[in-house]
Amino acid sequence: MSETIPITIDGVEVQAKPGQTILEAADAAGIYIPRLCYQKDLVPFGACRVCTVLVNGRPQPACTQPVAPEMVIDNSSEKVQTYRRNIIEMLFVEGNHFCMFCEKSGNCELQALAYRFGITAPKYPFLFPKREVDASHPDIFVDHNRCILCARCVRASRDVDGKNVFGFVGRGPHKKVAVNADANLGGTDAAATDKALDICPVGALMRKRVGYAVPVGQRDYDTKPIGSDIETSKAK
């Protein structure tokens, strides 16, 4: 399709394709919009709200909002960045995130976003919830302490793996990821090769016995900030 929809992101005119979301159009244009629950090839979920942008002054999630002509998008003002920083901080205090001993450290998107936003310590009080670790499966463990309820595993298991291993139970602050069995992950047909395991942005859903295969210091976000892959594509 040759027709494009002109939109403006941070003063830059971008030619978006019909049917694209704001986030997809920005990615294609080499403009990084921070995100956590969004994962390419999964149905957009709109849960984390880190990708909130102002569209003609109104807050909208970039991952689910389709482009429309005349959109003027603010992706970088102090206001937008404050919203995002606050949401990232909320995710830290809601769970029990101990980056210093998490084996996902350096590969964790939440941690990487905190670095990108210059968050050294959240201003919100830690809520210290009591959450369990499910290590019942021989090859996989689930640490609910680190889960940010992004539903990437839910979507990948359902739509890519065709298994429906994960789902949500409870509501409000008690909402959590549950498994499709009466007790724990060991009772499901989850396998270490599942796509659902590859896409957890944090250290909640992990393969056993491979934790430090890549040493700390050489991991995804140890050398370059999250989002730089998108931003460097613009330079080319």
Partner 1 sequence: MSGLEAEIKAICKAVGNDRTRTMDIVRAVQDKHGCVSSEAIDVIAKQVGTPRVEVEGVVSFYSFLSEQPKGKVVIRLCHDIIDQMQGCDRVAQAFAEELGIAFGETTPDGMISLEYAACIGMSDQAPAALVNDVVVTHLSSDAAREIVRKLKADPDPKRLVASLGDGNNAHPKVQSMVMNNIRVRGPVVLADFDSGEGLRKAVAMTPAEVIRDIKTARLRGRGGAGFPTGLKWEFTRKASGDQRYVLCNADEGEPGTFKDRVILTEHPDLMFEGMTIAGYAIGAETGIVYLRGEYAYLRAFLEEVLETRRKQGLLGRNVCRKEGFNFDIRIQMGAGAYVCGEETALISSCEGKRGDPKNRPPFPAQKGYLDGPTVVNNVETFCCVSRILEKGPGWFAESGSKGSAGTKLLSIAGDCRRPGVYELPFGVTLREVLDLAGASDAAAVQVGGPSGQLVGPKDFDRMICYDDLATGGSIMVFGPERNVLEVVREFLEFFVDESCGYCTPCRVGNVLMKERVEQIIAGRGEPADLDYLQELAETVKACSRCGLGQTSPNPVLTTLKNFRPAYEALVKQDKDGFRPTFVLSEAVGDAEAISGRKSVHTHQ
User: Which residue number, 84 or 106, has a Cβ lying nearer to partner 1?
Assistant: 84
Using alpha carbons, select from 61, 78, 77 the residue that is nearest to residue 26: 61
Contacts of partner 1 in 173-212 (CB under 8 A):
173-175, 178-182
Distance CA 230, CA 20 (A): 17
41: alpha, beta or left? (left if phi > 0; alpha if psi -120 to 50): left
Torsion angle, alpha carbons of 56, 17, 61, 90, to 10: -120
Single residue of 34, 44, 203, 227 touching partner 1 by CB under 8 A: 44
Using CB under 8 A as the binding rule, the residues of this chain from 51 to 90 that contact partner 1 are 52, 59, 61, 64-66, 82-83, 86-87, 90
State which of residues 47, 99, 160, 191 lies at the interface with partner 1 (CB under 8 A). Answer: 47
Asked if residues 232 and 169 have their Cβ atoms less than 8 Å apart, the reply is no
Looking at the Cβ atoms of 76 and 233, the one nearer to partner 1 is: 76
Q: 12, 17, 46, 222: which one contacts partner 1 (CB under 8 A)? A: 46
Closer residue to partner 1 (CB): 49 or 104 = 49
Three-state SS letters, 112-158: HHHHHCCCCCCCCCCCCCCCCEECCCCCEEEEHHHCCCCCHHHHHHH
Q: Which of 10, 94, 139, 220 binds partner 1 (CB under 8 A)?
A: 94
Distance CA 148, CA 203 (A): 10
- Cβ closer to partner 1: 98 or 124? 124
33 binds partner 1 per the rule CB under 8 A: no
Q: In terms of Cα–Cα distance, which of 90, 97, 104, 94 is closest to 199? A: 104
User: What whole-number distance in Å separates Cα of residue 130 and Cα of residue 194?
Assistant: 28
* Choices 118-126, 137-145, 202-210, 219-227; region in contact with partner 1 by CB under 8 A: 118-126
Residue 133 CB-half CA count within 13 A: 10
To partner 1, the closest distance from the beta carbon of 226 in angstroms equals: 17
Q: How far is the CB of 53 from partner 1 (least distance, A)?
A: 11
Angle at 113 between CA 108 and CA 118, to 5 degrees: 130
Find the binding residues for partner 1 in span 133-152 (CB under 8 A). Answer: 148-149
Question: Is residue 48 at the binding interface for partner 1, with CB under 8 A as the rule?
Answer: yes
87 vs 160, beta carbon nearer partner 1: 87
- Cβ closer to partner 1: 174 or 209? 174
What is the binding site for partner 1 (CB under 8 A)? Answer: 44-50, 52, 59, 61, 64-66, 82-83, 86-87, 90-91, 93-94, 123-125, 127, 148-149, 164, 166-175, 178-182
